[in-house]
Structure 1
Amino acid sequence: MNYTGFASLYDYLMADAPYAGWLEFVKESVQGQPLHGLKFIDIGCGTGELLLLMLKQGMNGTGLDLSPEMLTIARAKAEEEGFSPLLIEADMTNLPELDEYDLVTVFCDSLNYLRSVDDVQLAFAGFAKQLKKDGLLLFDVHSEYKVNEEFVGQTFADADEDVSYIWNSFSGEEPNSVEHELSFFAKTESGHYERTDELHVQKTFSINQYCTWLEHAGFKVESITADFTQNEPTDKSERIFFKAIKL
């Protein structure tokens, strides 16, 4: 999913996203290392909200996303704040040779857009190639509970003067997958509303599967927590966080 029509609405609709929580997870995960100068790449950076928060900590960052529209917005926002990070349009399953980073981040369930075992394994192998020895990979995914109990069969909607949406979620064709059918109605300068339709398909896997694939890619799984806490996942956790170290 490249968010082609969604890019211009993304920040509006993600206004309440827990970016501060992801930043805090990064801070906790580096275990007291100075953030200033820490070299990172944020994969699936979208419009750059988290990327900017990390840059403001003095970190040295690169952003990568599949959507050129998202990256255009990210660049404008970064320049407005006085930053000029390298922004790269690429697929996380086929990463170009970039640099050696201290940290790779993949947040906001970006990894859930990879729907095959091969794609997840290719992504993990690519992440490993971007990291220095003992570098960190931090990412989160939707849990199986979240996909099957909190998404499938649900309808979400919001009506606002400028942007309204209807979001229906259906069971995907594969186990632990979900299809999100979204319709957005955005007010134009003329006062009319323009409709944009998107289909987003996400899939998740078990914690054990992610751990096995990480180990095969040359990582040691350091911790697995849930829902922006230090707690281990339960059978009703919604978002699973992984911290892995490149061996």
Structure 2
Amino acid sequence: MSYEQFAYFYDELMQDAPYDEWVRFVKEKLIEYHVEGKSLLDLACGTGQLSIRFAKEGYDVTGVDLSSDMLAVAQAKSQEEGLLIPFFEQNMADIEGHGQFDIIGIFCDSLNYLQSDREVTDTFSNVFQHLKAGGLFFFDVHSIHKISHGFIHQTFAQAEDRLSYIWNSFPGEGPNSVEHELSFFLLDEQTGKYDRFDELHIQRTYSDKQYRDWLEEAGFDLLEVCADFENDAPKTDSERIFFIARKKPSY
């Protein structure tokens, strides 16, 4: 999977994403669970959409992402906003050397890009090590229902003057996984012709119970599992599942 071209028009494609809802959700839960600290590690931060929003809310944000191109966009945007956010290029399964934080988040279903059980458990273990005692870990994932019924065998398309795409989704090789084949057509304003870029994105999810078990094995207290930016427990047709876990104060 490559983000070399995708990074530079990602924000245009994601302009309707509910980033403000993620910020609202996290802030409400921090109040509910009495977390007053402001240091926040944004894993798989992408182009910094959430990093910048949290920084504007007064959080001391550090961003980490695997893509140097995504980070270049994030850095440029944060500088334009007059924000000093440190960004680092690392895989979330291999993070090291960042100290400890009050809050760690893996937002926007980014955890689903990990392809193996080991990568997920390594990520949870590393998050645990980078979290202060009593700190909160937030992440959201696609539900099995979303992968199976919302993506697989579906085609999505957009036709605009500057940027168009065709997005086909197929069953992945692993259980509860999907392969997204995307073709983008971006207008070159100098030549009037369209450049084509192709991407393959693979996502995999697991049952709520499996995530619960892995969190507990990593040493977390699981505080809450809810769905779709609401406080309600997931239903059979829920699409996005949210997990909130605490590092036990005794650690």
Contact 2:228-2:242 within 8 A present in 1 as well: yes
Q: Does 1:146 align with 2:164?
A: no
Aligned position for 2:238: 237
How do 1:77-96 residues align onto structure 2 when only pairs under 5 Å count? 77-96=77-96
What's the CA shift for 1:31? 1.6
TM-score (norm 1): 0.97
What's the CA shift for 1:98? 0.9
Contact 2:2-2:199 within 8 A present in 1 as well: no
State the AA in 2 paired with 1:226.
Answer: A
TM-score (norm 2): 0.96
CA distance in 2: counterparts of 1:75 and 1:31, whole angstroms: 29
Give deviations 1:135-162, integer Å, cap 9, x for gaps. 1000000000000011000000000000
CA distance in 2: counterparts of 1:223 and 1:34, whole angstroms: 15
Give deviations 1:172-221, integer Å, cap 9, x for gaps. 11110000000000111222111000000000000000010001111011
CA distance in 1: counterparts of 2:28 and 2:139, whole angstroms: 13
Aligned position for 2:69: 69
Aligned position for 2:106: 106
Q: Does 1:30 align with 2:30?
A: yes
What's the CA shift for 1:4? 2.2
Residue aligned with 1:93, SS: helix
What's the CA shift for 1:84? 1.3
What's the CA shift for 1:2? 4.8
CA distance in 2: counterparts of 1:116 and 1:182, whole angstroms: 22
Aligned position for 1:164: 164
Contact 1:39-1:59 within 8 A present in 2 as well: yes
Contact 1:5-1:198 within 8 A present in 2 as well: no
CA distance in 2: counterparts of 1:222 and 1:76, whole angstroms: 36
Q: Structure 1 residues 85, 54: closer, same or farther in 2, change over 3 A?
A: same
State the AA in 2 paired with 1:229.
Answer: E
Residue aligned with 1:194, SS: strand
State the AA in 2 paired with 1:126.
Answer: N
State the AA in 2 paired with 1:234.
Answer: K
CA distance in 2: counterparts of 1:154 and 1:69, whole angstroms: 28
* Percent identity of equivalent pairs: 49
Contact 1:182-1:197 within 8 A present in 2 as well: yes
Q: Which runs of 4+ in 1 moved over 4 A?
A: 32-35
Give deviations 1:103-123, integer Å, cap 9, x for gaps. 001000000001111110000
What's the CA shift for 1:3? 1.9
CA distance in 2: counterparts of 1:218 and 1:102, whole angstroms: 16
CA distance in 1: counterparts of 2:2 and 2:40, whole angstroms: 22
CA distance in 2: counterparts of 1:99 and 1:160, whole angstroms: 44
State the AA in 1 paired with 2:233.
Answer: E
CA distance in 1: counterparts of 2:241 and 2:35, whole angstroms: 26
Q: Structure 1 residues 34, 126: closer, same or farther in 2, change over 3 A?
A: closer
Aligned position for 2:196: 195
Residue aligned with 2:93, SS: coil
What's the CA shift for 1:34? 7.7
Contact 2:138-2:242 within 8 A present in 1 as well: yes
CA distance in 2: counterparts of 1:168 and 1:34, whole angstroms: 42
